[in-house]
Chains A and B, each alone.
Chain A
Amino acid sequence: MDAVISNFDEYLKAFGLTIGLFVVSGIASLVFGTILAVLRVGPVSILNKAAALYVTLFRNTPLLMIFVFIFIAMPVLGYNFKVVENVEIAGYNVSAFFFRACLALTLYTAAFVCEAMRSGVNAVPLGQAEAGRAIGLTFSQSMTLVILPQATRAVIPPMTSVMIALAKNTSIAAAFGLAEATATMRAFTNNNADQRIGIFLAFAIGYIIVVEVISLSSYLVERKVRVAR
């Protein structure tokens, strides 16, 4: 443990990056996944099929392969996303590595968010959609005003599982140029072979804290917005 305690700033920085990856790709995949879910339940056949194809493709591909494609294959094909480094947001530049990792995590997680969301839509009684249509709401109106708000409340537990999986999946970025928690753990063990177990425990505890915070906040949100039936 000594190695971790005397380099505690490194430890915090590593988990900072892990949390950064989680928050950015979490928000992005929630937005993108919800759009996919709306397309899948929507009336336009071609969009419907496109979204279904996307989900099949990305849900069945291991995340590691998506990372390999974005980090190893795409730069060879000429897409290295270096342009994002020129974009300045509030004085900060996002590194192309961070962008690529978030892209890989989002593409993958969105497929799972879409399916969780779809289960939530199915949980909304059919009469709700029919009532919306009866009072003359368009598809997008009944989606945003009637169905999605109820669906979102119903999907908090499965969505939490998707988000916890995402938090742990950020560790794949360790092998692709990002000094997040897992990569930093490997650096620590390499330098301090005699403290292997202590270092492992310190990082495992870090991950447990991250995941516990996610599940605790989902519990609080669920208690607050639960639909009384």
Chain B
Amino acid sequence: MRFIRTKAVIATVGLALSLAACGDAGDDGGETTDVEVQENAGDEFDDGTAMKEFADSGEITIGVKYDQPGIGFKGATDDMPVGFDPEIGKILAASLGIAAEDITWKETISDNREPFLQEGEVDLVIASYSITDERRQVVGQAGPYYVTGQQLLVKSDSDIASLDDVKGTEVCSVTGSTSLENIKAEGAKPRGFDTYSECVDQVLSGTVDAMTTDGAILLGYAAENPDELKVVVDPFSEERYGVGYSLDKPEMCQWIVDTITQAQEDGDWGSAFEATLGQSGVDTPEPPAMDECPAA
């Protein structure tokens, strides 16, 4: 009897822990779109370019995030990540004649995006990767393919309604992120966690007062828990998501810009948005204009 009881206790504790640790990331933004795959793509590109190599080998490795519903999300049992970033990746791969199922996806976290590109671990990074001057010193960033801004996620009964209300409160985000720096500048106590889902758990359990990051990500979480969570405050920063590539292959920039511009014009960009971020109820925004590529 005692043994059975011990097992029951262990099972209960284990269950509580695992429930708490994973949170419920849900399956928001689980839809995907079909992108037409370019045939004979290899002929389109000049010899010696990176695009020619990808098209000829039929292989490309793309780094995305796995913990941002709507942007880039992959559950433990899913085969492929879903979200707006993977959709952009599919559009880019399709122009090289590579079908969605032939893309190798790799999880990148904020910390390892530059090293992954520099060491060739991934060919592209499409991981809510804000364009900054410092980053452009070490890697290439083409885009922006999406522009969002920082907002706050709070409990539905929270008193926080404006940016002034966050002074002295505890606000969480991902450790080391720009969002955390920005909210610190507003007078809040920054609380960094390893993942967004841990941070959401902190808001739900009342340990912190709010979570902050790009509005797009927050909407994804609010959509999973509409009774308990809401997104407040107008965007108070501008994050311009770019596609990261290695500076060793500067020719990729123009191809990324051309492909995304094409997708914006023929509607693939819009349907990618509606299938993912659009699920949380926001209107499809006007596609942003791309930066010019640096002279190669």
On whether the two chains bind one another, the answer is yes
Q: Which of A65, A68, A75 has the most CB of B within 10 A?
A: A75
Residues of A within 8 A of B178 (CB): 190-191
B186 at the binding interface (Cβ < 8 Å): no
Task: State whether A73 touches B21 (Cβ < 8 A).
Answer: yes
Interface size on B, residues (CB 8 A): 36
Q: Determine if B288 is an interface residue (Cβ-Cβ < 8 Å).
A: no
The verdict on A97 contacting chain B, using a C-beta distance below 8 Å, is: yes
Against A, the Cβ 8 Å flags (1 = close, 0 = not) of B185-220 are: 000011111100010011001111000000000000
Q: Is the CB of B17 within 8 A of A69?
A: yes
Q: Is the interface of A mostly helix, strand, loop or mixed?
A: helix
Q: Is the CB of B202 within 8 A of A75?
A: yes
Residues in chain B near residue A72, CB distance under 8 A: 20-21, 198, 201-202
A179 and B190 contact, CB distance less than 8 A: yes
Inside 8 A of B202's CB, which chain A residues have their CB? 71-72, 75, 177
Any chain B CB within 8 A of the CB of A193?
yes
B181 at the interface (CB under 8 A from A): yes
A35-43, A107-115, A181-189 - interface stretch: A181-189
Docked-complex contact A187 and B194, CB < 8 angstroms: no
Q: Of A174, A188, A193, A194, which contacts B192 at CB under 8 A?
A: A174
Query: Is B191 a contact partner of A97 (Cβ separation < 8 A)?
Result: yes
Structural contact, A191 and B191, CB atoms closer than 8 A = no
A177: contacting residue among B115, B138, B172, B205, CB under 8 A: B172
A129 is an interface residue with CB less than 8 A from chain B: no
- A68:B208 contact, CB within 8 angstroms: no
- Collect the chain B residues with CB atoms within 8 Å of residue A76's CB: 16, 19-20, 201, 205
B104 interface residue (CB < 8 Å to A):
no
Q: Is the CB of A193 within 8 A of B194?
A: no
Question: Which residues of B have CB within 8 Å of A191?
Answer: 132, 134, 178, 181
Which residues of the partner chain B approach A73 to less than 8 Å between Cβ atoms? 16-17, 20-21
Contact indicator A97/B170 (Cβ below 8 Å): yes
Binary interface profile of B, 167-193, with partner A (CB < 8 Å = 1, else 0)? Answer: 000101001111011000000011111
B111-132 vs A: 1/0 string, CB under 8 Å?
Answer: 1001100000000000000001
Least distance between A193 CB and chain B CB atoms (Å): 5
Size of interface on A: residues with Cβ below 8 Å to B:
33
Interface residue? B135 (CB, 8 A): yes
Residues of B within 8 A of A176 (CB): 193
A189–B21 touching, CB < 8 Å: no
Cβ-based interface call for A215 (8 A): no
Q: Which residue of A lies closest to B114 (CB)?
A: A193
Once the chains are docked, how many angstroms separate the CA of A124 from the CA of B21? 45
Residues of A within 8 A of B175 (CB): 174-175, 183, 186-187
Q: Which residue of A lies closest to B177 (CB)?
A: A190
Q: Is the CB of A193 within 8 A of B191?
A: no
* CB atoms of A190 and B110 under 8 A apart: yes
B residues neighboring A (CB under 8 Å): 16-17, 19-21, 110-111, 114-115, 132, 134-135, 137-139, 170, 172, 175-178, 180-181, 189-194, 198, 201-202, 205-208
Which 5 residue pairs of A and B lie closest in terms of their CB atoms, listed nearest first? A186-B176, A177-B191, A75-B205, A194-B137, A175-B194
